[in-house]
Structure 1
Amino acid sequence: MKLSYKFLCLLLGFTCFSLLLSLALARWSFEQGFTEFIINQERERLNQLAVQLVDEYRANGNSWENVELDNASFFSGPPNRKFGPPRRMGPPPRSRSMAANNLDLGPPTALFDNEDNVVTGNVSRDSSAKQVTVDLISDRGRIGTLISYPPPTPNSEIAVAFAAQQNHAIIIIGLVSFALAIIIALGITPRILRPFESILAAVKALTARKYDTHLPNERADEFGELMSHINTLSTTLKNNENTKNQWLADISHELRTPLTILSGEIELIKAGIRPLDQKQLHSFDQEVSRLSLLVEDLYQLSLSDIGGLRYHFLSVNLRDAVISQKDTLLSKFMQKGIDIEIAEASPIFIDADPQRINQLITNLLVNACEYTDAPGKVVITLKDSGPSATLLIEDTPPGIKKGNESLLFEPLFREDASRARRSSGGGLGLSICKQIVNAHQGKIVAEPSKLGGIKITITLPKEQLIKDN
C-alpha cells in the first residue's frame, strides 16, 4: 500500500474516532444537562406551589386539616391515604384552588406535614427514584415538605420530541462532519505528501547517477531539512564523481608517461637507432623506479583510506628523527644545490609509530627539495608548544597561489596541470603525510612562507597514550 493511502486511512481513522468520541460526549452532556434542566424546572414549580400552600395553611388556622383541597385531583394520581392520620373533610370546596391546578401540571407529588406524615398526594415506592424536595416555611418555621418524583428520563411528549430532535441533529452533524473530513483529507493529503514525491524523485535520480539534481527548498519544516540534506548529498556525490574521474585521469597520466618513455626507448633500440648500453639501462631503471614509487604511494594511500595501515605507538624522540632524516637526504639536497638547516630543535618525546614518523619527515623533506628552485634553502624548526610538538618546514620560491594551500594535500594535485613534472614522484607524498598526521591525532597545515615558498606546519600531541590502530 502506498504511503498516500496509508496516510489517508490514518487521517480518516483518527477523524472518525475523534468525531465519534466528540458526538458521544456531546450526547452524554446533553442528557445530563437536560435532566438537570428538568429537575431545576421542577424545583421552580415546587417553590411556586410552596408559596401558595403556605398561604392556604395560614388561611386555615395554621392547619392542614381545614385546607379546602380536592384531594382526588389535586395531585397527579389518586391521593395516598396509607400514610398519616385520617383526614377531616371540611365543607365542600367552593372552587378548586390554584395550588391544585399547579400540582396537576407536574410529575407525581406528595405533601408531607411537619412530622413527615403524608397529607395528600402520591409517594413513590421506588427507592432509587429521584426526588425533588422543597420545605414549606411559615412564620412559625417549617410546616411541611413538598416532594415530587420526576421520571429518570423526561417522558412528556414535548421532552421526548425535543430529545429526538437533538439526536437527529447530532446524527446529521456527525454525517456532515465526516463528509467534510473526507473532502479535507482528500484535498490535504496530496498537498502534504507533495514534498515527499519530490524527494523520492530526487533520490531515484541520484540512484541513476544524475548528480545535478537539486531540490528547491523554501520550507522550514522537516521536509525542508531533508531536502537540504539531499542537496548536500547531491553536491557531495558530484564532487566525489569528479574527484574519481580526476583521479583516474591523473593516475593514467602518471603511469602513461614513464611507460611511453620506456616504449619509445625500446622501439629505438629495436630499430638499431640507439645502442643498448649502460646509459640506456640506467634510463630504464629510472623509469621503472618512478613507476614503482607511484604504485607504492598509491598502495600506501589506499591502505590508509580503508584503515589497512597498522600503527604501533612507542615513545619517539622527534628531534632525533628529524636530524636522522635530514642527514640521510643531505646528499640529495647538495646534489640539487639547495641548502638545508635546522634552525631550532628541542628534544621532544611523542607517542608515535617510528616508521611512520620517519616516512612523514622524509616525504616532507623530499617534497621541499623537489619543489624548490636552486639555489634555494630549506629551514627546519622543531618547537615545544606545551601539550604538543610543532614541526615547521619552510622553503624558498616557488610558492603557491593564495587559496590553494589546502589543495596541496589532495592526491595528485597539480597547481598547473599543463606544466611538466618537476620530480620523479607521483604527487601523493603530501596526501600520505596528511593520513599519517591524522592517525597520530595531529594537524598539518600549509601556508605561504616568509622565505617566499611554502611553510608546512605539523602539530603532534606529546606523550599521550594512543592505542594501536
Structure 2
Amino acid sequence: MNRTRFASKSENSSLWNWICRKVISLAVGSIILIAFCMWLRFYIDSKWHEYRMPADVRAELARLVKDPEQNINRYHAIIDRWYGVDYWPPGMGITDWLILAVLVLIVMPVIFTLTLRTARPLSVQISALANAAKSVAQGSFGNNVTIPEHLPLELRSLSESFNGMSMQLERYEKELKKSHVAMAHELRSPLTAATGRLQGMLDGVFEPNETQLKMVMRQLNELNRLVEDLHLLKLADAGQLNLNIVPAGLSEIVREKMAWIAPSAGRAGMSIQHTQNLMLSGMVDPYRIGQVFLILMDNALRYAAEGGVLEISYEATPDTVSVIFRDKGPAVPDELLDDIFTPFVREEVSRSRHSGGSGLGLSIARAICEAHGGRLEVEKHEKGGLVFRVSLRKA
C-alpha cells in the first residue's frame, strides 16, 4: 500500500517539483561522490604502500598508528621511508568534516538557486504546452502558447509547431462544420424537390404524367451525381482512388474533352483556343485526367463565359508536363483565391451571378491530380482572368 501511495504521489507531482527533486539529488550526490573519490584516491595509495612493506614493518606501523607517541621518531621514519615525505594519512578529522559541512551549506544553495532559476522558464513553458495540449485533446482547438525569446531553440520550435498545429486543427474544424452544413444543403435541395413533386402527385396537385416523372428523375439523378462526387472525393482524400496509370498523350485527351464540351461552349459564346505547340505525354490515368480537363473547361464556361475565350497551352520541364487553362473572365478576390478548391465553395468565390454545379468540381480535380502525384494550382493573370495549371509526371 505504501509503495502504491508513493508511486501515485510521484506520478501526480508537477514538473517543477520533479525538477527540484532531481536537482537536489544531483547536487547532493555529486558532492558525496567527489568526497568519496578524493578519499578513495588516498586510501588506495596508502594500501599500495602498505602492501610493499615487509610484514614486520607493517605490524610495527599498525601499533604506532594507534599511538605515535610511543616512538614518534620511528613512526616518521617508517612513513618517510615507505610513503614519502609529502604523505598525508587518508582520513578526516572533526575539523575537516566541519569545513566540508560549511562549504556544502554555502555552495549548495548557490548551486540550487542558479540551476532552478535557469530551469524555471523551461518548466513554465512545458507546463503551458501540457495544459494547451490537454485543451486541444478535449476539443478546444486554436489554443496557443506564448513563446519567450530566451528559451532554447528546440523548445521554441516545439512551441511554434504546437501553435501551428492548433491553428490548423481549428481551421480544419471550421471547414469541416462548414462543409457539413453545405453538404446537407446540397443533398437536401434535390431530395426536397423530388419529394415535394411526388407528394404533389399523390395529393392530386400534379398529374402523374411523363413530364412530372421526368422532373422527379432529374432531381434524383442530380442527387445521385452529388453522392458519386462525394464518394470520389473521399476516396481520393483517403488515398484509395484506383488509378490505371499509363503513358498517354495529353493533347489527345484535351481534344477529346474539347469535342465533348463544344456544344455547350457554342451556346455560351465561348471559343476554346488549343495551342498545341508541344507533343507531350504524361504518366496518367486517361479517364481520371480527362475528368480534370473537363471540370476545368466546364468551370470556365460557368464562371468566365463573358471573357469569350479559354486558352489551353502546354509547358514542360525535365520531370513534369503542365497543361495550362487560362480564361479571360472576372477573377475572384485575392483573399478568396485559396478557397477556390474547398468543397462546396461556389457562391462565395463565384465569378458570375449564376452559380450552377455542386461546388465539388475543383475539389475533385485537385484531388485527382494529387492522387497522380501531381498538382493543380491557380493564379490570377496580370491581364485578367484565372490561370489553372495541371502539373503531372512526364512519361
Pairwise CA RMSD of aligned residues? 3.7
Residue 200 (str. 1) matches residue 126 (str. 2):
no
Shift of 1:384: 4.5
Partner of 1:431: 363
The whole-number CA distance in structure 1 between the counterparts of 2:175 and 2:123 is 35
Q: Alignment partner of 1:393: what SS?
A: strand
- TM-score, L = length of structure 1: 0.65
**Inter-CA distance 178–264: structure 2 relative to 1 (3 Å threshold):** same
Give 1:247's aligned amino acid: S
**Inter-CA distance 289–374: structure 2 relative to 1 (3 Å threshold):** farther
Q: Which has the higher helix share?
A: 2
User: 8 Å contact 1:337–1:376 — kept in the other structure?
Assistant: yes
The whole-number CA distance in structure 2 between the counterparts of 1:269 and 1:309 is 41
Partner of 1:400: 332
Partner of 2:30: 18
Counterpart mapping for 1:123-162 below 5 A: 128-129=81-82
Structure 1 residues without counterparts, runs of 5 or longer: 32-106, 110-121, 133-149, 155-159, 464-469
Partner of 1:171: 101
Structure 2 residues without counterparts, runs of 5 or longer: 1-9, 44-71
Which shifted more, 439-448 or 239-248?
439-448
Give 1:13's aligned amino acid: S
Q: Which residue of 129, 146, 151 corresponds with 1:216?
A: 146
The whole-number CA distance in structure 2 between the counterparts of 1:389 and 1:319 is 11
Q: Which residue of 258, 263, 266 corresponds with 1:331?
A: 263
**Inter-CA distance 376–183: structure 2 relative to 1 (3 Å threshold):** closer
User: 8 Å contact 2:16–2:120 — kept in the other structure?
Assistant: yes
Counterpart mapping for 1:143-292 below 5 A: 164-175=94-105, 177=107, 192-219=122-149, 220-221=151-152, 222-292=154-224
Q: What is the aligned residue count?
A: 353
User: 8 Å contact 1:392–1:457 — kept in the other structure?
Assistant: yes
Give 1:260's aligned amino acid: T
The whole-number CA distance in structure 1 between the counterparts of 2:76 and 2:164 is 85
User: 8 Å contact 1:312–1:352 — kept in the other structure?
Assistant: yes
The whole-number CA distance in structure 2 between the counterparts of 1:455 and 1:131 is 93
**Inter-CA distance 29–289: structure 2 relative to 1 (3 Å threshold):** same
The whole-number CA distance in structure 2 between the counterparts of 1:260 and 1:352 is 39
Which shifted more, 222-231 or 22-31?
22-31
Residue 388 (str. 1) matches residue 298 (str. 2):
no
Which shifted more, 282-291 or 377-386?
377-386
**Inter-CA distance 29–173: structure 2 relative to 1 (3 Å threshold):** farther
Shift of 1:436: 1.9
Residue 295 (str. 1) matches residue 307 (str. 2):
no
User: 8 Å contact 1:12–1:185 — kept in the other structure?
Assistant: no
**Inter-CA distance 338–183: structure 2 relative to 1 (3 Å threshold):** closer
| Larger-Rg structure | 1
The whole-number CA distance in structure 2 between the counterparts of 1:443 and 1:372 is 22
- TM-score, L = length of structure 2: 0.76
Residue 422 (str. 1) matches residue 355 (str. 2):
yes
Give 1:422's aligned amino acid: S
Q: Identity over the aligned pairs, expressed in percent?
A: 22
Q: Which residue of 251, 269, 272 corresponds with 1:340?
A: 272
The whole-number CA distance in structure 2 between the counterparts of 1:276 and 1:420 is 34
Residue 377 (str. 1) matches residue 297 (str. 2):
no
Give 2:24's aligned amino acid: L
Q: Which residue of 412, 435, 455 corresponds with 2:344?
A: 412
Partner of 2:47: none
Partner of 1:98: none
Shift of 1:188: 7.4
Deviations 1:75-129 (A, max 9, x none): xxxxxxxxxxxxxxxxxxxxxxxxxxxxxxxx749xxxxxxxxxxxx99578944
Give 2:134's aligned amino acid: K
Residue 358 (str. 1) matches residue 370 (str. 2):
no
Shift of 1:22: 3.6
Q: Alignment partner of 1:351: what SS?
A: strand
Deviations 1:130-152 (A, max 9, x none): 566xxxxxxxxxxxxxxxxx9x6
Q: Which has the higher strand share?
A: 1
User: 8 Å contact 1:344–1:383 — kept in the other structure?
Assistant: no
User: 8 Å contact 1:8–1:185 — kept in the other structure?
Assistant: no
